[in-house]
Amino acid sequence: MNIELTVNGISNQIDVNENTPLLWVVRDMLNLKGTKFGCGKAACGACTLHIDGEAVRSCSYPVKNAIGKEVTTIEGLSSEGQIHPVQQAWIEEIVPQCGYCQPGFMMTTAALLEKIPNPTDADIDANITNVCRCGTYYRMRKAIHRAALLKQQNT
């Protein structure tokens, strides 16, 4: 069927099976490759993006549910000329190793900071449940605290 899907502020007309996971629509039809496939069962968080500001694991989210909503991917996290504090913090802490899981973590973190602007370590432990095999969690925790600080300075 034909659907209208708004991603990163741009409206798209797409002819797609409405049950297709949003992940594959974003990756293969809109060619936004920053959202990753990890497990297909919402177990690892590599595919995390935002729907109306909420972190969603898009591999298990049918595209029809996103109709009429605002989808944001890692490519749309920073606004024009202004890098998002989470991405800035990730750069300053030199977090990524292989880098594959990182967009999912950054999207999860960005959504977390909207709800809990200054998360404690316990908040981070409870809310950041994505999987990273390189073991960048140690730097990520620092980056999350730094992002919270940067975000507060920006506003």
Q: Give me 81's structure tokens.
A: 């000329």
> Taking CB under 8 A as the rule, does residue 51 contact another protein?
no
Distance of CA 84 to the CA centre of its chain: 12
With CB under 8 A as the contact rule, the residue among 5, 30, 46, 110 that binds another protein is: 46
- 24 is a site residue for another protein (CB under 8 A): yes
Give the x-and-dash track for 54-83 against another protein (CB under 8 A). -------------------xxx--x-----
DSSP characters for 98-124?
S-TTHHHHHHHHHHHHHH-SS--HHHH
How buried is 22 (Cβ within 10 angstroms: 0-12 exposed, 13-18 middle, 19+ buried)? buried
Determine phi and psi for 136, rounding to 5 degrees.
-90, 10
Q: Phi/psi of residue 113, each to 5°? A: -70, -20
Choice from 115, 117, 121, 149 touching another protein (CB under 8 A): 121
Site residues for another protein, window 4-23 (CB under 8 A)? Answer: 17, 20-21
Nearest to 153 by CA among 125, 118, 101, 119: 118
Asked whether the beta carbons of 58 and 48 are under 8 A apart, the reply is yes
Q: Which one among 3, 40, 69, 145 touches another protein, defined by CB under 8 A?
A: 40
Residue 87 interacting with another protein (CB under 8 A): yes
126 binds another protein (CB under 8 A): yes
- Binding of residue 48 to another protein (CB under 8 A): no
Stretch that binds another protein, among 6-14, 64-72, 117-125, 146-154 (CB under 8 A): 117-125
Contact residues for another protein (CB under 8 A)? 17, 20-21, 24, 28, 31-41, 43-44, 46, 73-75, 78, 87, 90-91, 94-103, 106, 121, 124-126, 128-141
